[in-house]
Amino acid sequence: MIRPATPADILDVARLIRELAEYERLLDRVVLREDDLRDHLFGPRPFAEVLLAEDAGAVAGFALFFHNYSTFAGKPGLYLEDLFVRPGCRGKGYGKALLVALAKLAVERGCGRVEWSVLNWNEPAIRFYEAVGARPMTEWTGYRLTGDALAKLGS
C-alpha cells in the first residue's frame, strides 16, 4: 500500500532517510533533526512531500519529492529527492509502486516531468529506473552550492 506520510510518521521517515544515507555510504553527512523535518513537511510552508510504502502495516520504503518548474515547458514538475526501499522489502514491487504513485500525482497536478539523480555506482537503481522507461540526462552537469560558499554568496 502506498500512502502520503502524516506528522505521525516523522520518526519512520527520519529512520528511512538515515537508512538510505547508510546505503549510499553518506551517513556521516546526515545532520537531520526530526523537528525540522516535521516543520519542513507539515509546517505552514511545506517544502516537500513524502509517500510511504507499507508492508503488512510496517513502513517498507519512501519517496520524498517536491515541485520544480520548467520555464521551457511552462509547466511544473516533480523532483524525486529520495526513493528507498528497505533491503528486506526489495523485490516485492514497492519501489515501482512508489514511482507509479508519484507519476500519477504528476499527471493529476499537470506536471510535465518527474526528475531525479542517482549515484553513478548504484547499478541496481540505474537498471530499475531504466526498466520503467527513465533515461539519463547525460548532457547536463549538476551543480550544488552549500556551506561556506553558499553563505558567502548569500550574504
1-48: per-residue pLDDT in tens?
A: 999 999 999 999 999 999 999 999 999 999 999 999 999 999 999 999
Residues facing 50 on adjacent strands: 64
pLDDT score recorded for residue 141: 83
CATH superfamily of 2-154: Gcn5-related N-acetyltransferase (GNAT) (3.40.630.30)
**Known catalytic residue: 129?**
yes
Residue with cell 502506498: 2
The whole model's pTM is what?
0.92
Q: Average per-residue pLDDT in the chain?
A: 94
Active-site annotation holder among 69, 79, 129, 143: 129
43-62 tens-digit pLDDT? 999 999 999 999 888 999 99
Sheet holding 49-55, edge to edge: 2-4, 49-55, 58-70, 75-85, 114-116
